[in-house]
Structure 1
C-alpha cells in the first residue's frame, strides 16, 4: 500500500475547488450581465400561474446557471409584494430542475476544451470592443475554469484510493444513505454551492472512492444543503419572503425523504435509462460512466419532485404560513424594496432600487405640497407632518445611497453602472427638494410665532409660484417614474419659476419702499421664494436625467 501525500492532496482539492467555484461564479455573472435585464422582466411578468412560473424558473436558472441567484430574486420579488407565495414556490420548483444542467455539463467529456475556452475567453475579454463580447468572454473563462478545477480535484482524489481509512469511511455511505444525505447537505451548506458539491461527488465517484449508490445519496443531501442560500437571503425580510425561502427547504427536504425510501429502485431505473455500467472500472482505475448516471439521477429527482409538488403548492403555502405566522418582520429601517441579499443580482437590485427611489420621489413631492398647505393654512399638524416626512426622506436617501455604493463595487455592466450614477443623482435632488420644503415650513413657523401676515398681493404671488413649482416637480417625477428613459419633457416651467422669483422679489422691494410690509416680513418672503426656486432647480436636474442629458 502506497502512502498518501497529504500536502499534495490538500493542494489539489483546495485549488481545484477554488477554480471550480470561481469559474462557476464568473460564468454565472457573465450570463447575468449579458441577459440579466430580460431575465428579470421574464421573472417579474411571466409568473401568472404555477405552470408558467415553473417553466420560467427552469428557463432562467438554466440560462444563468445559478439556482441561488434565481431564488434570491424570488425572495426579493415576494418581499416587494410583486408575487404571491404560490407563484414563488412554482419558480423554486423550476429552479431546482434548471440548476441540474450544471451536473449534465460536468458529465460530458469536454474537459479537454477547458484551456481553449479560457484562451478564447481571455482574448474576447481583453481585446473585443463590444461589451457583449466581454461578457461572453467571461462566460467562456468561467466555463474553462470550472472544468479545469474539476479535473484537478479528480487527480487530487486519486491517491485516496490507497488509503484504507478513507475507503472504509466512504463505503459507510453505501451502507447508510442517511449519513450520506447529511454529509452532502452539510458540505453544500459550507461551500454555498450545490454545483461545487456535485463536482466533488462526481470527482469522488469517477476515481472509484464512492460507489453509485453512495454518490446518489450524497446528491440528495446536496439538494437540501442548497436551500440554505435562499433562507440566508430571507433574513430580515417580511414573513411572506421568509415563507418562500422556507418553502424551498420544505420541497427539497420532503422530496429527499420519500426518495430515500425508493432510492434503490430509483437508481436502478436511472441505470436502465442511462448507457454504460456505472460501476465499470477501466484500466486507469476510473469509472467513466458514473458521472452521467449521477447527473441523470440529479435531474430525474428534481423532475419527479416538480410533478409531485406542483399540484399541491397551495397546501405547501398554507403549511409555510402556519410555521411562519404574521408577526411583523422586525425591520425598523425605511426601505421596502431593497435587501442586502440583492447585491448578488445587480440588475435586479437596480430595478428594486429604482422602485425605492420612486417611492422617495412621492414623499418629496408630498412634502412640497404640504409646505404650500402649511403656508396658507398655518396648521401646526401639517408642519409636523413635513418634519416627519423629512426624517423618512433623509433615512431613505442614506440607506439607498449606501446600497447603491455597495452595488457599484460589484462586477456590473456599463449600462448598470450608468443607471446607478443616475439614481444617485436623482436621490440627491429628491433629498434637496425635501430640504427646501422643510425650510419653507420653518419659515412658516416663524410667521406664526411672530404673528406676521403678508399683504394680499404677496399672498397671490406666493400662490402663483407654489402652483408652478409643484406642477413642474410633479410632471418631472411622473416622467421619471414612468421609465423608458430618455424621453422629452417640457422644462418651460423652470424658466417661469426663475422669472417669477425675480419679478416677485422686485415687487417686494417696491412694497418695502412704500411701507406696505416690514423688513422682517420681506426677508421671510424672499427666503420662501428662494427655496421654491431652488426646489425647481432640483426638479430640473431630474428632468435632465429623464432627457438623458445628465453628465
Structure 2
C-alpha cells in the first residue's frame, strides 16, 4: 500500500492555499487602486433600476475580483443610508455573476505565465515611479501568485489518488450531491473565499479525486458559503443592512436548491456546450478539461439565478422584510462610518465624506443658532448648541480615527491626498463649532446678567454674523459638492477682518461717549474675535479646495 507523506501534503496544501489567497488579495488591491476613480463613478451612477444595479454589481465585482468584498460594501452602503434594499439586492445578484470571472481565469490553464508575471510585476512595483504602473505590477504579482498557489495545491493532491480511503470518500460525494454541497459551503465559510474553494475544487477535479458531478455539487455549496461574509458584516448593522445580507443568502440558497434537483440535467447541458470530456485523463494522469467545465458550471448557475430572481426582486425584498420585521430608529449620535469598508478605500472615502458633510451641517447650524440665541436670548437654543458641540467633537475624533486606519491601507494617490485634506478640514469644522459654543456661552452670560447691546452694536453684530454665516455656508457647500468654482470668491474672509477692525473702532467711540458699558464692550470685542476666527477656519477649508482644484 502506498504510504502518504501527510506532513508534505499538509505543507503543500496550506502553502498553495496561502499563495492563492495572498495572490487574490494582491490582485484585488491592485485592481481597486488602478480602477479607483472608475469604481466610485460607477457606484455614483447607480439608480433604483434593478437591471442597472445588477450590471453595476457585475462590473464592480469583476474589478475587485471578490463577491464577498462587493457584498460587504453593499451592506455598508445600506447601513450608511447610501443605498436602499432593492438597489442592494440587485447589486448582489450582479456580484454573483461578476465573481465567476476568477474561475474562468483559472480555467484557462495559463500557469506557465505565473513566474514571468511575478517577475514583471515585481519589476514594475519596485522600479517604476508611475503609480499606475506600480498598481499594474501588483496585479501581475497577484495574478502570478494565484496560479502558482493553484499549481502547488494541485500537485499536493496527487498523492491522495493512491489512497483507497480518500477515493471512497470522494466517490461518496458523487453519489450524495447534497453532502458535497454542504462540504463546499462549510469549506467556503472556513476559508472566507469562494474563489479559494473554487481553486481547491478545480485542483481536486483536475487530479481525478472527484468527478465532474461531485465538483458541480461542491460549486453549488460554495455559492451558499460565500454569503456568510456579508451576514457577518451585517452583525451590528441596521435592519435594512441585515435584510440585504439575508437577501444574498436567499438568492444563492434557493438557487442551489432547485439546481441540485436538476443537477443531472444541468451538468449534462454544461458538458454539451463545453469542449472536451471532463473525465478524459492525459498521460500525466490529470483531467485537462475539468477546470473549464467547473468554471462554466459556476458562471451558468449565477447567470440563470440572475435571470430567475431579477424580475422577482421586489417580492424578495418584501420577504426579507417579513423575516426581519420592524423599522430602524435613527440615532442622531450614531456614527455612519463602517470599518468593514476600509478594505475598499474608494467606498470608505465616500462614506467619510458623507460624515464630514453631516459634521459641517452641525457646525453651520450651531453658528446660525448662536446668532439667534444672542439676539433673542433663548435658553433652548443655547442648550441645543451645547448638544451639537458634543456631537461635533465626537465626530472629529471618530472621523479622524477612521481616516488614520484608512490611510494605512493601499490606495490611489488621489485618495491619499483626499484623506490628508479631510484631516485638516474636520479640525477646522470642529474649531468653528467651538467658536459657536463660546458665543453661546456669552449669550448665556448676557441672559444671567440681564445685559444687552446698544442699537448700533446690535446692527454691527448682526452684519458681521451674516457675513460669517454666508461665508461658512458657501465654503461648506463647495467642499461637500466638489463644485468649488461657484464659491471661489473668498472676499468674505477679508470683509470679516475689515469689519472686526472697523467695529472695534466704532465700539471705542461708543465707550468714550458712554453709549456702551465696559462689560458689554468686552463681550462685544470677544464675539468679534470669535467670528473673525470662524472666518479664518472657513478660509482654511477654502484653501484646501483651491489646492484640490489645482492638484
Q: Provide TM-score, normalisation by structure 2.
A: 0.96
CA offsets, 1:13-33, max 9 Å, x none?
111111101111111111111
Deviation at 1:290, TM superposition (A): 0.8
CA offsets, 1:470-495, max 9 Å, x none?
11111111211221567761111111
Deviation at 1:329, TM superposition (A): 6.5
Q: How does 1:96-175 map to 2 (within 5 A)?
A: 96-175=96-175
Structure 1 counterpart of 2:300: 300
- What SS class does the counterpart of residue 278 from structure 1 fall into? coil
Partners in 1 of 2:43 and 2:453 — Cα distance?
A: 56
Structure 2 counterpart of 1:538: 537
Partners in 1 of 2:414 and 2:7 — Cα distance?
A: 45
Q: Is the 8 A contact 1:9 1:157 kept in 2?
A: yes
Partners in 1 of 2:455 and 2:315 — Cα distance?
A: 67
Partners in 2 of 1:508 and 1:169 — Cα distance?
A: 93
Deviation at 1:49, TM superposition (A): 1.4
Partners in 2 of 1:517 and 1:484 — Cα distance?
A: 44
1:215 and 2:254 correspond: no
Q: Is the 8 A contact 2:39 2:346 kept in 1?
A: no
Q: Is the 8 A contact 2:28 2:65 kept in 1?
A: yes
Q: How does 1:8-407 map to 2 (within 5 A)?
A: 8-328=8-328, 333-336=333-336, 338-407=337-406
Q: Is the 8 A contact 2:120 2:137 kept in 1?
A: yes
Go from structure 1 to structure 2 and tell me whether the alpha carbon gap of 1:46 and 1:441 turns closer, same or farther (over 3 Å shift).
closer
Structure 2 counterpart of 1:446: 445
1:481 and 2:476 correspond: no
Partners in 1 of 2:75 and 2:486 — Cα distance?
A: 32
Partners in 2 of 1:169 and 1:144 — Cα distance?
A: 32
Q: Is the 8 A contact 1:371 1:440 kept in 2?
A: yes
Structure 1, 80-89 or 212-221: larger mean CA deviation: 80-89
Partners in 2 of 1:334 and 1:37 — Cα distance?
A: 28
Deviation at 1:514, TM superposition (A): 3.9
- What SS class does the counterpart of residue 287 from structure 2 fall into? coil
Go from structure 1 to structure 2 and tell me whether the alpha carbon gap of 1:34 and 1:157 turns closer, same or farther (over 3 Å shift).
same
CA offsets, 1:31-57, max 9 Å, x none?
111112222221231434122222222
Q: Is the 8 A contact 2:475 2:487 kept in 1?
A: no
Partners in 2 of 1:524 and 1:330 — Cα distance?
A: 39
Go from structure 1 to structure 2 and tell me whether the alpha carbon gap of 1:230 and 1:332 turns closer, same or farther (over 3 Å shift).
farther
CA offsets, 1:220-262, max 9 Å, x none?
1100011112222222322222211110100000001111111
Structure 1, 519-528 or 174-183: larger mean CA deviation: 519-528
Go from structure 1 to structure 2 and tell me whether the alpha carbon gap of 1:345 and 1:329 turns closer, same or farther (over 3 Å shift).
farther
- What SS class does the counterpart of residue 416 from structure 1 fall into? helix
Deviation at 1:540, TM superposition (A): 0.5
For structure 2, the 5+ residue unaligned runs are: none
For structure 1, the 5+ residue unaligned runs are: none
Deviation at 1:453, TM superposition (A): 2.0
Structure 1 counterpart of 2:525: 526
CA offsets, 1:86-144, max 9 Å, x none?
22212211111111111111111200000000111111111222211111111111100
Q: Is the 8 A contact 1:429 1:541 kept in 2?
A: yes
1:501 and 2:500 correspond: yes
Number of residues of Structure 1 aligned to a counterpart in Structure 2: 550
Deviation at 1:2, TM superposition (A): 1.9
Go from structure 1 to structure 2 and tell me whether the alpha carbon gap of 1:4 and 1:195 turns closer, same or farther (over 3 Å shift).
same
User: CA RMSD, aligned part only?
Assistant: 1.8
Go from structure 1 to structure 2 and tell me whether the alpha carbon gap of 1:162 and 1:329 turns closer, same or farther (over 3 Å shift).
farther
Structure 2 counterpart of 1:464: 463
